[in-house]
Amino acid sequence: MELTPRFPTFLHGGDYNPDQWLDHPEILHQDIEMMKRTHVNCVSLGIFAWAQLEPEEGKYDFAWMDDLVERLWASHIHVCLATPSGARPAWMADKYPEVLRWDRFFRPRHFGGRHNHCPSSPVYQEKVTAMDEALARRYAAHPAVILWHLSNEFSGDCYCPRCQEAFRAYLRERYGTIENLNRSWYTSFWSAMYTSFDQIEPPGPMGQESLPAMKLDWRRFSTLQCRRFIEMEKRAVRRFCPDLPCTANLMEDFHDYDYFELSGSLDLVSWDCYPAWGRGDNTETARNYAMNHDMMRSFLDRPFLLMESTPSLVNWKKVNQLKRPGMHLLSSMQAVAHGAQSVMYFQWRKGRGGAEMFHGAVMDHDLREDTRVIRDVTEVGLTLERLSHLYHAPLKRPQVCILYDWNTRWALDYAEMGMPGNMGYLETVREHYGCLYEQGISVDFRNCERFDPDEGYALVIAPMLFMFSSGIEDRLRRYVEQGGTLVMTYVSGMVDGTDQAFLGPTPYGLTDVLGIAYQELDALYPEERNHALYRENTLLEIRDFCSIIQAGRAQVLASYTDDFYAGSPCITRSVFGLGHALYMAARLTPEGLARFYQDLLKDLGILSPFPHPLPHGVIVTRRADHLFLQNYSGREVRIPTDRCWKEMIHGQTLRDCLVLPVNGLLILRSEA
Ligand code: GAL
């Protein structure tokens, strides 16, 4: 599947910041020579180059970039051209302090760092537009340029008076009247009532912090602010080349903006992936990042770009470990297996000084051309070339969908219930995901708004779907009625889209579908456990949360064994229409959860794409007709096989036994 009409195969390369090296022509020369040798075909250029591109207000200097674009192109290296709005020059902050952000204590920030701009500053908007148009006018039609990389890792909120006013305008538009807003924010408690929109400030430590619905609206507003900024940049760059696609690099596990929403303003999703691969067993890390990849693919339901990763180490974790041998190829191919159309790095060359001088890069300070990192990077480049046929192969629609929703995430974070601030939504989603992942079963993600009951999923899992918004209950009902299988858990369907509790039985609108009704939530201390007796002979362990439910017509699959609710239902299943709806009232430990899903997947006939059982830490992921067999277990593994396999990197035929060293990878196609 082509990402851009101008680029026919996997991208390999990374952030290139030559603006640090303009007085070192020999370095620039070595850069391009080494890019060719490492099979790099693309760089992201100019991400933080504003100070060099416009050294004085209105005086642009594109000469160095002209020269580089030509030299890169002469070596067949393409360019994702960045807009430099992620960091601005000192002269601008000095002359127009309004371009800088205000913090949540309502204090203006000073010049420095990056990602420090006010999105509603008219001056900043004008300056960014002018810069983006200038870049577009000059380069967008250049054959080397294949993609716009808008800004860098959009993040954060601004609390300046202008952004506050924009928040109030957003609320006026959303609620129409102050009475409506009061009702939706439930201000009738603690005298929180407003009599005018003008009284409203953003939520925070300086004032109102006790209205969860308000905090939720602030997050939605921040998402919208970011979207508006992206749209503004898109308009600017598109003026001169309407068909060049735009991306923005997203981040892992990001909380503050709703990425399903935000992606609506992007042509392509790309993201920055920085796992802490360690020594030994990396299975859990692999699971978490596999899930991130699947989410990124799901936002626009199409292949994505791995925009940044490190070829060796980062410099900002508590302990910065090198990638062990094999891990660079393995982790890069993990991304490809999940639908990435690129492997890109931060950054091409280590800076001599400044913020990230010790962050891993392809080229190191010692200027050597034969390092371990360079060999690893070259191996990835060659592998991507050998897999080029996969670039075009359509991705298969997974059979399983997980509902993950930013509104629920925020609402659970702000909910003072159970374990306030520590409800563990993301971790729970990961644990459910992991049960499928470990069995080689692919997963899509949808949020409430995007879930479509007719997409054909055999199984839909909605872990902790606390907030039912966009009428999700109706679509889930239809999904089950038509023959789907739904798994729901504790704390589902408790609040509506304005974060107010539904009155009446919950999960709202689905109690007849699930055949149960929720009653109470019990939270356990970390050392406490409960258990559920499952299918009459298996004891599943429970931690953190037990909800007490009343089972109506649902069949009870497991009951609590301990405490005053011993004997009451814990896992249930109901038949509704042509489908099934299962309810899990408690948080099972990972072993219990794995057991539950093993049975369910077997019942549903959802099978691993790999025909043999795999030991812990060996994961199979399918992309088109290729099976990516990945060893994260930290030890060598041998898998007996009675099939004949074609190994796709080196082209050998494998039979009898598949051998995976530590961090080993086999990309296989079945020959028989
Ligand atoms: C990313 C960022 C890069 C670089 C990198 C270091 O979050 O976009 O510019 O700072 O982290 O790991």
- pLDDT at residue 1 in the model: 62
Residue 645, domain member (yes or no): yes
- In terms of domains, do 566 and 596 share one? yes
Residue 516, domain member (yes or no): yes
- pLDDT at residue 270 in the model: 98
Q: Give the dihedral sign, CA 119/446/581/469.
A: positive
Ligand 1 atom closest to residue 314's alpha carbon, by position in its atom list: 12
Ligand 1 centroid distance, CA of 346 (Å): 7
- Separate counts of helices (H) and strands (E) for the chain: 18, 24
- pLDDT at residue 172 in the model: 98
Q: DSSP character for 397? A: P
Q: DSSP character for 446? A: E
- In terms of domains, do 630 and 594 share one? no
Tell me, using a 6 A CB cutoff, whether residue 359 lines ligand 1. Answer: yes
- In terms of domains, do 547 and 648 share one? no
Residue of 346, 348, 358 best suited for mutating to test ligand 1, as the one with most atoms within 8 Å of CB: 346
Tell me, using a 6 A CB cutoff, whether residue 356 lines ligand 1. Answer: yes
Ligand 1 atom closest to residue 251's alpha carbon, by position in its atom list: 7
Ligand 1 atom closest to residue 48's alpha carbon, by position in its atom list: 9
Residue 199, domain member (yes or no): no
- ∠ Cα 549 551 553 (to 5°): 160
- In terms of domains, do 382 and 411 share one? no
Q: Residue 46 corresponds to which amino acid? A: G
H helices of 96-211, where?
Answer: 122-139, 161-175, 178-185
Residue 209, domain member (yes or no): no
Tokens found for residue 55: 């050294």
Residue 589's CATH number: 3.40.50.880
Residue 624, domain member (yes or no): yes
Residue 475, domain member (yes or no): yes
Confirm whether 431 is a catalytic residue. no
Final residue before a domain boundary, out of 366, 390, 414: 390
Cis bond leading into 347, ω under 30°? yes
- In terms of domains, do 565 and 659 share one? no
CA atoms within a 13 Å half-sphere pointing along the CA-CB vector of 458 = 14
- In terms of domains, do 239 and 280 share one? yes
From the candidates 308, 431, 438, 473, which is the catalytic residue? Answer: 308
- pLDDT at residue 441 in the model: 98
Residues 572 and 552: their CA atoms lie apart, in Å, by 10
Q: Give the dihedral sign, CA 508/518/425/200.
A: positive
* % pLDDT > 90, the chain: 97
Ligand 1 centroid distance, CA of 104 (Å): 24
Regions of the chain where pLDDT drops below 50: none
Residue 385's CATH number: 3.20.20.80
- In terms of domains, do 542 and 600 share one? yes
- pLDDT at residue 311 in the model: 97
Q: Which residue has the tokens 């290139």?
A: 16
pTM, rounded to two decimals: 0.97
Ligand 1 centroid distance, CA of 347 (Å): 8
- pLDDT at residue 672 in the model: 65
Tokens found for residue 99: 């371009």
Tell me, using a 6 A CB cutoff, whether residue 274 lines ligand 1. Answer: yes
Closest alpha carbon to 338 in 410, 278, 281, 396: 396
Residue 477, classed as helix, strand or coil, is: helix
Residue 550, domain member (yes or no): yes
Tell me, using a 6 A CB cutoff, whether residue 152 lines ligand 1. Answer: yes
Which strand (E) or helix (H) includes residue 25? helix 25-37
Tokens found for residue 310: 């490190």
Tell me, using a 6 A CB cutoff, whether residue 276 lines ligand 1. Answer: no
- In terms of domains, do 50 and 115 share one? yes
- In terms of domains, do 488 and 428 share one? yes
**Cβ neighbour number for residue 440 with a 10 Å cutoff:** 19
Range of the domain at 32: 11-158+221-390
Residue 626's CATH number: 2.60.40.1180
- In terms of domains, do 253 and 293 share one? yes
Ligand 1 centroid distance, CA of 405 (Å): 26
Confirm whether 252 is a catalytic residue. no
**Cβ neighbour number for residue 84 with a 10 Å cutoff:** 24
Q: 555 - beta bridge partners? A: 573
Final residue before a domain boundary, out of 345, 372, 390: 390
List Cβ neighbours of 537 (8 Å cut-off, separation of 6 or more).
none
Residues 218 and 174: their CA atoms lie apart, in Å, by 12
- Give yes or no for a contact between 629 and 608, defined as CB atoms under 8 angstroms apart: no
List Cβ neighbours of 431 (8 Å cut-off, separation of 6 or more).
463, 590, 593
- In terms of domains, do 385 and 408 share one? no
Tell me, using a 6 A CB cutoff, whether residue 153 lines ligand 1. Answer: yes
Question: How many domains is the chain built from?
Answer: 3
Q: DSSP character for 294? A: H
- In terms of domains, do 561 and 631 share one? no
Final residue before a domain boundary, out of 351, 372, 390: 390
Residue 662, domain member (yes or no): yes
Residues 576 and 552: their CA atoms lie apart, in Å, by 13
